[in-house]
Amino acid sequence: MIYKIKHILSNKKFKSKVEFVCFILPALLLLLNSSIIPFVMNIYFSLMKWNGVSNVKEFVGLNNFIKIFTSDKAFWEHTLFTFKYLIFFVVAVNIIALGIALLLYKKSTMNNFARASIFLPYVISLITVGLIWQFIFGPGFESIANITGIELFSRGWMSEVDLVLYSILITSLWQNVGFFMIIYIAGLVSMPSSVIEAAKIDGANAINTFTRIKLPFLAPSLTICLFQAITYGLKLFEIVLVLTRGGPGGYSTTIVYNIYIEAFQNSRYGYGTAKSLVFFIIVLIITLTQLNLTKRMEVET
């Protein structure tokens, strides 16, 4: 028996399996503690009427979910605003980032400096970004209006319904364009130069080179950028919290900010977690659909 145990322990396959388990176990425990257990607890809390603090929890079953889909008009209005913002953000950030990447992907000292300058806002915390633009849209624009006399700068960018979406959008674009630019630059740099040179020899102009050669090669980068842009847009919270606090009149409240208000300000934690699960399903459906479509495009190209 002892001989068999020694033989098993000395076996190379067994040793490799033990090493694999030892290396993977900390990551699995971390994932279990940070994601899986909280998710299961969220499902449990979503079936309760609970304020998040008291020891008393009342089981209400699916009533929280029924209320969301039947009588919570505010949640769906905020969902509509989130999707409106999402469409503008996804389109704008990808077009701007790709345009900048096409201008700066070639190596040079000036291009490197420009890349670093554009990427810099991405490493700033979202709370700080919100505070910076709160100043710009407030005293900053007021000073510009006094100097130039342009009426647009004198308006309340954070308090008027027809401008608040654009104030959030401008802030998000300023903070994120650099990140998406880097992804597109990586895609452009990885292209084989021989293909582009061959196209030029064949007489292809800049538009044909971009649409027929560069754009198909950028399909993997586009997949990543669309996924990142969609998930960022759906989870928008910090900028709204600092910049508008959901105003004016709750118009700029996003889904995540609505969940935050429900759970932590209205002290309806059970109802808030039910909303978070509905939001999780929405995000899952959208991201899986997007990944499926863009991956299919990659295969075709």
Which domains are present in the chain? 2-45 (no CATH), 63-300 (1.10.3720.10)
Model pTM score: 0.87
- pLDDT tens digits, 45-101: 999 999 888 888 889 989 999 999 999 999 999 999 999 999 999 999 999 999 999
pLDDT given at position 201? 73
- Enumerate the H helices of the chain as residue ranges: 2-10, 12-31, 37-45, 63-70, 73-104, 109-119, 126-135, 141-148, 151-154, 161-189, 193-201, 206-209, 215-217, 219-234, 238-243, 255-260, 269-300
In the chain, the amino acid numbered 280 is F
| Interatomic CA distance for residues 73 and 258, integer angstroms | 12
| Interatomic CA distance for residues 295 and 19, integer angstroms | 34
Q: Which two tokens stand for residue 284?
A: 């899952």
SS3 of 171-214: the string is: HHHHHHHHHHHHHHHHHHHCCCHHHHHHHHHCCCCHHHHHHHHH
**Minimal CA–CA distance to 243: which of 163, 181, 177?**
163
pLDDT given at position 214? 78
**Minimal CA–CA distance to 129: which of 237, 249, 258?**
237
pLDDT given at position 32? 84
pLDDT given at position 177? 96
Given its phi and psi angles, is residue 246 left (phi above 0), alpha (psi -120 to 50 degrees) or beta? left
Q: Which CA distances in Å does 301 have to 97, 131, 133, 218, 293?
A: 22, 43, 40, 10, 12
pLDDT given at position 215? 81
Q: Three-state SS for 250?
A: coil
Q: Which CA distances in Å does 174 have to 62, 119, 166, 178?
A: 41, 9, 12, 8
List, for the chain, all residue ranges whose pLDDT scores fall below the cut of 70. Answer: 1-15, 297-301
pLDDT given at position 90? 95
